[in-house]
Amino acid sequence: MAMFYIFPLVFLLLNASSGILAGSSSFLCESHVAERGKTASITCRSSLDIRNVTVQFCSDSVNIICPKKSEINTYRRKYTSDNGRISLTLNHSAILNINEVKLSDQRNYKFFLEVDNNHGFLTEFLTVVATYTNPHVERHNDTLICTATGGYPESHLYWFENDRTNLTDKSKFVSEQDADGLFSLKSTLSVDSSVREMIYCCTLNNTNSFHESQGSSCITFENTITGKAQLEKTSNSIPIPAIVLVPILVLGTFIILLFLYRKKKGAFLSTVQN
Ligand SMILES: *[C@@H]1O[C@H](CO)[C@@H](O)[C@H](O)[C@H]1NC(C)=O
Ligand SMILES: *[C@@H]1O[C@H](CO)[C@@H](O)[C@H](O)[C@H]1NC(C)=O
Ligand SMILES: *[C@@H]1O[C@H](CO)[C@@H](O)[C@H](O)[C@H]1NC(C)=O
Ligand SMILES: *[C@@H]1O[C@H](CO)[C@@H](O)[C@H](O)[C@H]1NC(C)=O
Ligand SMILES: *[C@@H]1O[C@H](CO)[C@@H](O)[C@H](O)[C@H]1NC(C)=O
């Protein structure tokens, strides 16, 4: 008996979803990942000229919530928003231009698009990113502190030893978000000062391919308690004191031996002469 009730319901649901598809199939909106501070755009196209557009600025969440009022509305000749920072160009396509992209521009944009004898709704999500500063490593006794700031979305810092051993699990990581919404990352790694020389690398990239790419910084850890750590890009380094001291020692020894030999020879000669 239940079958008789389910059948029409399924049929109705299928019909409704295909109806939505048919209504919006002639419209297409596109955007690229936007970078904070730069310009971005969302372009909506149709096979026919787009005549009128309204755009609502909706929430960033999965459950899209849109305000009643549209920010852009060509019917009301409102082509700009946020004091002109965001503007619409109608040119066969509808192009929403965003200048000096802010993190708050990451959200859903609900477009109403009108062409001759047709219209459609399309919602496009704009993703915004901000690039982190290159990680900076500092040494405080037996602790290495790595920081990277000003990025979005939240990311992680990874540690690798020179032979590419993953030390990330031994580190302590914290991230903080500032008033602008940007993240500051900090990772602390305790190192063993009894180990003579090691290279530790801190990176934003968990693929440990940091040698070629940016987003990483390495530190050479030497067993000197007062010694200042040096930041370097290349791992090959001979300590400068060794280069200078070894030849001086060799030369000094040679001079002393020569002096002693001459003195001995001189003493021998004077004995013979007497
Ligand atoms: C929007 O549509 C109205 C008619 O409703 C038309 O007069 C107007 O020119 C259109 N706006 C644009 C920008 O095309
Ligand atoms: C308007 O369209 C023309 C031709 O389709 C194109 O060359 C031009 O760049 C467009 N203008 C804008 C502002 O997108
Ligand atoms: C290093 O350790 C010494 C003594 O343990 C301490 O006095 C000094 O403040 C430490 N330096 C840093 C930068 O933590
Ligand atoms: C991580 O490394 C991969 C491979 O080299 C690269 O494609 C990617 O852009 C890097 N990511 C970051 C955040 O540097
Ligand atoms: C290193 O370890 C971290 C934490 O366990 C992990 O997220 C990351 O993918 C690892 N990277 C590599 C290259 O093994």
Those residues whose C-beta lies under 8 Å from the C-beta of residue 81, and which sit 6 or more positions away, are 57, 71, 72, 87
CB 98 within 8 A of CB 39: yes
- The answer to whether the pTM exceeds 0.75 is no
Most confident range, picked from 8-17, 19-28, 56-65:
56-65
Q: Is 39 helix (H, G, I), strand (E, B) or coil?
A: coil
Q: Whose CA is nearest to atom 8 of ligand 1?
A: 75
* Closest Cα to atom 1 of ligand 3: 141
Burial label for 200, CB within 10 Å (0-12, 13-18, 19+), is: buried
Query: Across the strands, what pairs with 112?
Result: 54, 121
- Ligand 3 closest atom vs CA 143: 14
Closest residue by Cα to atom 12, ligand 2, is: 91
The pLDDT assigned to 259 comes to 59
Report pLDDT digits (tens) over 211-246: 545 677 888 776 544 333 444 333 333 344 444 555
Q: What is the pLDDT of residue 217?
A: 83
Confidence check: pLDDT of 170 > 80: yes
Ligand nearest to the CA of 204: 4
Q: What is the pLDDT of residue 90?
A: 96
273, burial (CB in 10 Å: exposed 0-12, middle 13-18, buried 19+): exposed
Length of the chain counted residue by residue: 274
Ligand nearest to the CA of 132: 4
Give dist(CA 60, CA 68) in Å, integer. Answer: 16
> What is the average pLDDT value for the chain, to the nearest integer?
79
> Residue 11, class by beta-carbon neighbours within 10 Å (0-12 exposed, 13-18 middle, 19+ buried)?
exposed
- Torsion sign, CA atoms 177, 179, 181, 184: negative
SS percent in the chain: helix, strand, coil, step 5: 25, 40, 35
Q: Which of 137, 138, 140 to mutate to test the pocket of ligand 3 (most atoms within 8 A of CB)?
A: 140
Rounded CA-CA distance 201/158 in Å is 8
67 vs 260: which has the higher pLDDT: 67
Residue nearest atom 2 of ligand 3, based on CA coordinates: 141
C-alpha 35/C-alpha 129 separation (Å) is 5
Cβ < 6 A, ligand 3 pocket = 140-141
Give 36-51 pLDDT, tens digit per residue: 999 999 999 999 999 9
Q: Of the ranges 10-19, 156-165, 204-213, 221-230, which is most confident?
A: 156-165
Q: How far is the CA of 79 from the centre of ligand 1 (A)?
A: 12
Q: How far apart are CA 169 and CA 172, in angstroms?
A: 8
